[in-house]
Structure 1
Amino acid sequence: MQQVVKKVFPVLGMSCASCAISVETMLDAVDGVESASVNYASNQVMVIYDEKLVQPNKLKTVIQSIGYDLLIDNNTNSSMNEEATEIEFKKLKIQTLLAFIFTVPIVLIGMVFMHVPNANWIMLLLSIPVVFYFGRRFFINAFKLARYGKANMDTLVALSTLTAFLYSAFTTVYPSFWISRGLPVHVYFEATTVIIVFILLGKLLEERAKSNTSSALKKLIQLQPNTVSIIENGFEKEIPTVDVVIGNLISVKPGEKIAVDGKITEGTSFVDESMITGEYTAVEKMKGSDVFAGTINQKGHFIFVAEKVGSETILGKIIQLVQEAQGSKAKVQRIADKVAGIFVPVVISIAFISFLIWWIAGANDAFSHAVLAFVTVLIIACPCALGLATPTAMMVGIGKGAENNILIKNADSLETGYKVNAVVIDKTGTLTEGRPIVTNVLWDNSVDDKLYYTKILWALESKSEHPLAEAVLNHFNNEKTNINQSLSNFESITGRGIMAIWNNQKWMVGNKKMIEEMDLSISNFLLQQANSWQSSAQTVVYFANQEQVLAIIAISDTIRPSAYEAVKMLHNMGIEVFMLTGDNCATANAVAKTLGIQHFESEVLPQQKASFIQNLQQKGKVVAMIGDGINDSQALAIADLGIAMGSGTDIAIDVAKITLITKDLKALPNALKLSEKTVKIIKQNLFWAFVYNVIGIPVAAGVLYPINGYLLNPMIAGAAMAFSSVSVVVNSLRLKSVNL
């Protein structure tokens, strides 16, 4: 039996989009791997594989064989991945700085002081460490890939710089070869070294900019403390959070972050759970209350037992969700990857053709021009900008969503959002709070001691098992009493209400049918108000003694404060809004009217919700469905974009592609707005990446030379290539400042 798992591993050493293709291809070829998806922007690979057939060590060995490395000890609770990336960054920084120091005198000699004695020999000696030491990564990686018949940006850089260096070195050692043939003597040491410096610098800036795109994930990881205080044999001791196991007793002091999920066994406090709920009001916690990793204890002290640790905590699952989303690929990215995959061989072919055309058809200095065109084409055609265009924007977009309580499961869902033109919203638990509360209480004018009667009402409801009884108990919580212990002849009448005897009198709480059947009197004042509440879709509960109705209580599932504004925002975006509910028509009509929703369906079964969405899709609508319950799961799966409320059931959240971990419904239009902004950035990135290569390659090959005598300098090509990659990343980072 297969044991298929999905894991995200950091990859070290990738320098371009075609590097990512190489890593992906090698992993896909491993027996037992179902699929591998490399995200160059995040330097991660998401691998789906059978644990029985392949282990992470084998994946690591395969990747190392082509010059890269795989971090298989990927633990979100540690900073190992970040440390490895930082070490790599520091190494690159040092190499870039030293390469620059060696290159400055080469450029000065080659372009200003070219007539100094032994100028070529000085430049040759200075360029050797730049090419073969500081730039050795390009040659090593190119060689390893060549063994497997593959090529990437390192191949382009290695071929171009090695060609220019060998040509220049030959000219320095044996200048008479060209002089005897009447050809001028040119060397390109400055171009060779500047190319390497520019590419190293571009890579350095790119890595620094890319690290900013995952800032949201870093913030999530930092929500969990590094150490915790556990209690053993009555004493506290501090241990790393990663060592916590289920069953540990953990002590949490005022102001500390909670490390894992669990249940309080001792003490009370208030906890800031805004990272989960989006609500900034601290939640009261006491014995038996659940606490969650990443939340912050306020002033109290308590002890809780660990029930979920590591990736099983709510915070761990959120981190995993964001990681997988940032590692996933959108459809447009997969197209760009295919282009990047075939791009390098095509470019190498164009470079060789350019070389041959210049050498054969060129006039004076044909061979030098041929070498120059060959080197420049290889440099300027690097597909880095193309490879970064989509994933960087996706990463920033997904991170921006996480910062705004919008958890996006994969890149496809972020790409789909901007196309949505119809939103179907479940009523209960989505547009409404999902729990009944008392909205009004009205006493008969004959009641003089309301406190006395309220205690009797509380006592009756404390015996009831009806869902609405809890709403009444919560409302009158301050009137708790022990009268309930003295109640006798308690009776629950199905579909009507409850009744009991106390102090030799009969008391009852129930619906209108119960009051009518008991033939109890009710004042016109109460009757009119009851009818008014019912017409506004509120449930009316009657409290009476054996003679008359003493009070009426209005109970309803209140509309979320942000629902009206959210619906208005959707309408302003040109999106049709539909409401579906299993509730009765009167209630549905009242809610829809209040929120300005023109289309609604009431008394809808789960399968009917799915059919409703299919009908909209058949009419050409791109449909987003938002819900919170198990009954919404089928509709969420069928919709083009399923969105779950974070307070909903696990099944709904699992099925949905986006989860809103806030009660603020404005996160719904904000998610669609984020999609629109992200796709816009992607289109801009792809446009400039393609334009850069479409214009750059012909110019590098020398098409302008017959017109105006211009032949692109390899140094300028290297700078342009580096700038194109950085500009794509910087453009993507603009999403961080978008107001949602």
Structure 2
Amino acid sequence: MSQSENRHDTISLLIEGMTCASCVARVEKGIKAVPGVTDATVNLATERATVRGTASAEAVIAAIEKTGYEARPVETAGQGEDDSEEKKEAERVRLKRDLILASVLALPVFVLEMGSHLIPGMHEWVIKTIGLQQSWYWQFALTLLVLTLPGRRFYLKGFPALARLAPDMNSLVAVGTAAAFGYSLVATFTPDLLPEGTVNVYYEAAAVIVVLILLGRFLEARAKGRTSEAIKRLVGLQARVAHVLREGRIVDIPVDEVVLGDCVEVRPGERIPVDGEVTEGRSFVDESMITGEPIPVEKSAGSAVVGGTVNQKGALTLRATAV
């Protein structure tokens, strides 16, 4: 097969709205269903998708949006990528704010309901001071605030996903908390509708679920922010231009345009642009960024080299084995 037949366009997309592994699987499935797509990889940590094939970016983006997420090309994002980082930071701030608010509102609900099971005499104290029915009213009001303020994000995303027959984690939280709150609502205001002995409230379950999921989301957002920074630093180490043999002469092209099998020339002091196998030349390569070893490694014909490592004194010619 000729080199031209091996060529496929590679599309990099920024995707917003993914929250779990099922989101990744759904997006990948949607992308791979697009005619012309040969391979698709979605990374939850970086919120990026890499698509190979002959399909257009517009078709891929339309498929992603059909699954319920937003996407845009990385190469056309420009300032938008900085805006994306600002959005992520704003989302972390909102998550922290919602987590604090949900915790403050859920704590009294948890104490009023579960305290009766955990603390001796608590149940009798609640009945004598507040009254059981009045306690349920307070729990209803506080839980309603938890679900409609910090917890509203789950309903705004979860129920639409359920309507598309593509439920995600938001759908699970929305259905679970709504069921607990709905049953408790009936037990509080129309207990005669329930069989005898089943009149109980589960407000604390709905409230605590929201708190725990928000806590997980906040920790995840913070970890993803750190991961993104680390990846950016690694990407910054990559060469931007590769010297590639094309039609009998060496031409400088962007690293993204290097394809498998390309003959790449690496000059003294340059970073190796892509993973490859040395075909000509002899040199020493600084691989400390990969191995942590400060001593340069000798490379000659047949040796494997890693993109991003630094060629030292000699010149090398290599065949690209991974791009």
Query: TM-score, normalized by length of structure 1?
Result: 0.32
Paired letter, 1:8: S
Label 1:61 to 1:44 Cα distance change in 2 as closer, same or farther (>3 A).
same
> Is the CA contact (8 Å cut-off) linking 2:41 and 2:50 kept in structure 1?
yes
Q: Report whether the alignment pairs 1:44 with 2:45.
A: no
Whole-Å separation in 2 of the counterparts to 1:108 and 1:16: 31
Query: Which of 193, 212, 215 pairs up with 2:207?
Result: 193
In structure 2, stretches of 5+ residues that fail to align are: 116-121, 242-251, 258-270, 287-293
Q: Report whether the alignment pairs 1:151 with 2:167.
A: yes
> Is the CA contact (8 Å cut-off) linking 1:106 and 1:190 kept in structure 2?
yes
Partner of 1:100: 103
Whole-Å separation in 2 of the counterparts to 1:9 and 1:135: 29
> Is the CA contact (8 Å cut-off) linking 2:281 and 2:317 kept in structure 1?
no
Whole-Å separation in 2 of the counterparts to 1:105 and 1:148: 36
Whole-Å separation in 2 of the counterparts to 1:198 and 1:425: 52
Query: Which of 144, 156, 178 pairs up with 1:128?
Result: 144
How far residue 165 of structure 1 moved from its aligned partner, in angstroms, is: 1.2
Whole-Å separation in 1 of the counterparts to 2:17 and 2:69: 5
Q: Report whether the alignment pairs 1:17 with 2:31.
A: no
Paired letter, 2:206: T
> Is the CA contact (8 Å cut-off) linking 1:139 and 1:155 kept in structure 2?
yes
Whole-Å separation in 2 of the counterparts to 1:650 and 1:430: 7
How far residue 214 of structure 1 moved from its aligned partner, in angstroms, is: 2.5
How far residue 218 of structure 1 moved from its aligned partner, in angstroms, is: 3.0
In structure 1, stretches of 5+ residues that fail to align are: 224-274, 278-291, 294-307, 322-404, 414-423, 434-560, 568-578, 582-608, 610-624, 628-641, 658-740
Partner of 1:688: none
Whole-Å separation in 2 of the counterparts to 1:24 and 1:432: 37
Paired letter, 1:167: Y
Paired letter, 2:155: F
Q: Report whether the alignment pairs 1:119 with 2:135.
A: yes
Partner of 1:430: 283
Query: Which of 53, 56, 69 pairs up with 1:54?
Result: 56
Q: Report whether the alignment pairs 1:63 with 2:87.
A: no
Paired letter, 2:139: M
CA offset digits 1:208-229 (Å, max 9, x no partner): 01221232333367x6xxxxxx
Whole-Å separation in 2 of the counterparts to 1:34 and 1:427: 33
Label 1:71 to 1:100 Cα distance change in 2 as closer, same or farther (>3 A).
farther
How far residue 163 of structure 1 moved from its aligned partner, in angstroms, is: 1.5
List aligned pairs for 1:528-543, cutoff 5 A: none
Aligned-residue identity in percent: 27
Q: Aligned to 2:282, what secondary structure does the other structure show? A: helix
Label 1:162 to 1:432 Cα distance change in 2 as closer, same or farther (>3 A).
closer
Paired letter, 2:98: Q
How far residue 148 of structure 1 moved from its aligned partner, in angstroms, is: 3.6
Q: Report whether the alignment pairs 1:626 with 2:292.
A: no
Q: Aligned to 2:38, what secondary structure does the other structure show? A: strand
How far residue 59 of structure 1 moved from its aligned partner, in angstroms, is: 4.0
Partner of 1:259: none
How far residue 107 of structure 1 moved from its aligned partner, in angstroms, is: 1.8
Partner of 1:303: none
> Is the CA contact (8 Å cut-off) linking 1:66 and 1:144 kept in structure 2?
no
CA offset digits 1:587-618 (Å, max 9, x no partner): xxxxxxxxxxxxxxxxxxxxxx6xxxxxxxxx
Whole-Å separation in 2 of the counterparts to 1:68 and 1:202: 21
Q: Aligned to 2:51, what secondary structure does the other structure show? A: strand
Partner of 1:603: none
Partner of 2:184: 168
Label 1:54 to 1:651 Cα distance change in 2 as closer, same or farther (>3 A).
farther
Partner of 2:37: 33
CA offset digits 1:33-69 (Å, max 9, x no partner): 333321112222112353xx5344x544443444322
Query: Which of 3, 11, 30 pairs up with 1:7?
Result: 11
Query: Which of 67, 85, 88 pairs up with 2:88?
Result: 85
> Is the CA contact (8 Å cut-off) linking 2:11 and 2:57 kept in structure 1?
no
Whole-Å separation in 2 of the counterparts to 1:137 and 1:650: 55
List aligned pairs for 1:195-234, cutoff 5 A: 195-219=209-233
Label 1:408 to 1:26 Cα distance change in 2 as closer, same or farther (>3 A).
same
> Is the CA contact (8 Å cut-off) linking 1:8 and 1:44 kept in structure 2?
yes
How far residue 71 of structure 1 moved from its aligned partner, in angstroms, is: 3.6
Label 1:104 to 1:643 Cα distance change in 2 as closer, same or farther (>3 A).
closer
Where relative contact order (Cα < 8 A, 6+ residues apart) is larger, the structure is 1
Whole-Å separation in 1 of the counterparts to 2:137 and 2:274: 58
Whole-Å separation in 1 of the counterparts to 2:193 and 2:199: 9
CA offset digits 1:612-670 (Å, max 9, x no partner): xxxxxxxxxxxxx426xxxxxxxxxxxxxx7796548897263356xxxxxxxxxxxxx
Q: How many residues align?
A: 273
> Is the CA contact (8 Å cut-off) linking 2:40 and 2:49 kept in structure 1?
yes
CA offset digits 1:402-440 (Å, max 9, x no partner): xxx89887xxx9xxxxxxxxxx9889423599xxxxxxx
> Is the CA contact (8 Å cut-off) linking 1:626 and 1:644 kept in structure 2?
no
Label 1:103 to 1:210 Cα distance change in 2 as closer, same or farther (>3 A).
same
How far residue 188 of structure 1 moved from its aligned partner, in angstroms, is: 1.0
Q: Aligned to 1:195, what secondary structure does the other structure show? A: helix
Paired letter, 1:626: A
Q: Aligned to 1:652, what secondary structure does the other structure show? A: strand
Structure 1 runs of 4+ aligned residues shifted over 6 Å read: 405-409, 424-427, 642-645, 648-651
Whole-Å separation in 2 of the counterparts to 1:432 and 1:141: 50
Whole-Å separation in 1 of the counterparts to 2:319 and 2:102: 51
Query: Which of 295, 318, 322 pairs up with 1:652?
Result: 318
> Is the CA contact (8 Å cut-off) linking 2:68 and 2:161 kept in structure 1?
yes
Q: Aligned to 1:168, what secondary structure does the other structure show? A: helix
Whole-Å separation in 2 of the counterparts to 1:96 and 1:220: 32
How far residue 137 of structure 1 moved from its aligned partner, in angstroms, is: 2.7
Partner of 2:197: 183
List aligned pairs for 1:377-396, cutoff 5 A: none
How far residue 11 of structure 1 moved from its aligned partner, in angstroms, is: 1.7
Q: Aligned to 2:41, what secondary structure does the other structure show? A: strand
Q: Aligned to 1:11, what secondary structure does the other structure show? A: strand
Q: Aligned to 2:78, what secondary structure does the other structure show? A: coil
> Is the CA contact (8 Å cut-off) linking 2:283 and 2:315 kept in structure 1?
no
Whole-Å separation in 2 of the counterparts to 1:120 and 1:406: 67
Paired letter, 2:304: I
Whole-Å separation in 2 of the counterparts to 1:39 and 1:133: 30
Q: How large is the RMSD of aligned CA atoms in angstroms?
A: 4.2
Paired letter, 1:88: E
CA offset digits 1:673-728 (Å, max 9, x no partner): xxxxxxxxxxxxxxxxxxxxxxxxxxxxxxxxxxxxxxxxxxxxxxxxxxxxxxxx
Q: Aligned to 1:121, what secondary structure does the other structure show? A: helix
